Amino acid sequence: MPVTNFTVQEKYQYLEGFGNHQQSEAFPGASPVACNNPQRPPFGLVTERISGSSFTSPRSHTLQTWLYRAKSSLVHSEFKPYGNKMKTPKAHMTPNALRWMSFPVEPGADWTKTALLAYSGDAATKTGLAVYLYAITEDMETAHAFSSLDGDMLIIPQSGTIDVQTEMGNLLVRQNEIAMIPRGVRHRVTLPCGPSRGFICELFQGHFRLPELGPIGSCSLANIRDFQVPVAAFDGKLQAGRALGNDRTWTIISRLGGNLFSCTQDHTPFDVAAWNGTFYPFKYDLARFCVLGNTLFDHADPSIFTVLTAPSYREPGTAVVDFAIIPPRWNVMENTYWLPYYHRNTMTELSGAIITNQDPSSPWNQGLNFQPYGATLNSGMACHGANSDAHRAAEEQETTPKKVQNEGFTIFLLETECPLWVSDWAVECRDVLKTREEKAKPKM
């Protein structure tokens, strides 16, 4: 059955569909009928809209959601720098292939403490993207919420589970699932079963969409019905016909231009009693991805493994980023080199592993170390492919049908037309790792 055998049981209900106009209410009658902005919304609620696209975007690209909440998000203190002082990340660009077997992590980190791995473009001009790492051992502080004002956040857990409370409802995001939190949507992340680690692709330019299918037809790859959307979950109660939020002092932490800012407000950010629209969080189980492949000979382009894309529109077929996976699958191609052929690609490729072994006792699932490796980065037009031993084995292997299990993990790819700058922190991680590897080599 094409779903992951999760060790952590689901605890939330969801709507289904990608890009559909959805609506949900935490209690009957909270959502106005017909008029999006009534003079007096039900239960003393106030109307607020969050727009992810310009007002005059084509209908198929319009992203907006109406929220009906106990109190407006308008009332808060002045935003001030949060944590470290304002900074401009120092970075490096190289055509050399980079590989990290692991990344250093710090105990006591929560969702607000992520490390910048690589980026391109500029959030201020809404161009490009950034890739962050998270390795967290702690829940976010009580009455703290986070949002990225820079871009949509595609969350790719490598191991562990996160529980995400958002303005539109709750998501339980487990190993081998991905989630997307739209730009500006406030959320709080907790850990229901211990540490979690993974990647965040923050998209400055445009929004994630399903790839066009062309001659594939109307289904396969990631199907619309398999995306799960949260239902409204009101943080409060009904009293005397009014919706009252569980008010207390909250700290709102937001990322803008790569820097963190914070403000305080006297009410919960999760007091949304009803919502309707097209701009909302979602999650997706990667085991539901309908894999396609060659059934006689040759090797299709890896674009057939694309789950989500963010088109750039510079020219047809280009993308700010494609998110693709190489999951367990059957190979049946006769007289064909089964490994990825050596290639130089106009896209920059950052890859990592999603551990799909769901046994919590597995060494891959323990602690925060990134295993079986951290990440690799191949620059645009830099040749990459199998090492010599794997190449020889692929030349000699029998090409009879075989289930390819990837040694228990799924590879993910972030393919971008943008050259990536690698952060100082990431270069230092690699330098430390390289030194360790050299010391571990047997002396001649």
Give the H or E element holding residue 439. Answer: helix 424-440
Distances (CA, A) of 52 to 150, 207, 260, 354, 425: 12, 8, 21, 29, 31
Annotation says 299 is catalytic: yes
Please confirm whether the linkage preceding 372 is cis (ω < 30° from 0): yes
Per the structure block, which two tokens stand in for 345? 């690609």
384 assigned binding-site residue: yes
Neighbours of 111 (CB within 10 A): 25
Give the H or E element holding residue 129. Answer: strand 127-136
Provide long-range contacts, Cβ within 8 A and 24+ apart, for 317-321. 318/417, 319/347, 319/415, 319/416, 319/417, 320/128, 320/129, 320/203, 320/205, 320/206, 320/416, 320/417, 320/418, 321/129, 321/201, 321/203, 321/414, 321/415, 321/416, 321/418
138 assigned binding-site residue: no
By DSSP bridging, strand 282-285 and strand 227-230 are antiparallel
Contact of 325 with 352, CB cutoff 8 Å: no
Catalytic residue chosen out of the listed positions 61, 76, 299, 391: 299
Annotated binding site for Fe cation: 343, 349, 384
* Bind-site residues: 343, 349, 384
Q: Which residues are catalytic?
A: 299
Binding-site residues from annotation for homogentisate: 384
